[in-house]
């Protein structure tokens, strides 16, 4: 979802549908980023140079979150990564749901026994999803 710091009135400081005359600053995902590849596939206009100006690139969503929290532009971030900041008002949605990119994560594993650490991870995943 696209997020921005709020302005003094609680509205997004950077809003993707706000009719800005200048390209909006965007901390963007790098070409190597899996989330960036999903973004480019699902929202091809998200990187349109007429509307958006990348201010930096990274394959780490956490770094893009930091840039958004510093007010450096609109960043598309997983809701799970920004839910606390949205709850306390440090970040707000920058476009309503029109800019959201649906994402489903599926985990697969072999039926063979795994290393003890991997088995622990799978046990935690199974517990959270049951």
**Alpha helix (H) residue ranges in 43-109:** 61-69, 79-87
Q: Give the model confidence (pLDDT) of 37-64 as tens digits.
A: 888 888 776 667 778 888 999 999 999 9
Domain ranges in the chain?
Answer: 2-99
The CA angle 63-67-70, to the nearest 5 degrees, is: 140
Helical H segments across the chain, by residue range: 34-42, 61-69, 79-87, 116-128
The model carries a pTM of 0.78
* Range 2-99 classified under CATH 3.40.190.10: yes
């Amino acid at each position: 979802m696209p997020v921005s710091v709020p302005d003094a009135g609680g509205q997004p400081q950077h809003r993707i549908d706000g009719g800005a005359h200048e390209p909006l600053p965007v901390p963007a995902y790098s070409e190597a980023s899996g989330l960036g590849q999903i973004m480019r596939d699902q929202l091809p206009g998200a990187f349109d140079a007429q509307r958006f100006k990348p201010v930096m690139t990274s394959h780490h969503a956490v770094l893009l979150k930091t840039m958004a929290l510093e007010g450096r532009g609109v960043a598309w971030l997983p809701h799970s990564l920004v839910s606390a900041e949205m709850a306390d008002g440090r970040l707000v949605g920058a476009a309503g749901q029109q800019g959201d990119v649906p994402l489903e994560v599926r985990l697969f594993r072999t039926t063979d026994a795994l290393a003890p650490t991997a088995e622990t991870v799978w046990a935690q995943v199974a517990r959270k999803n049951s």
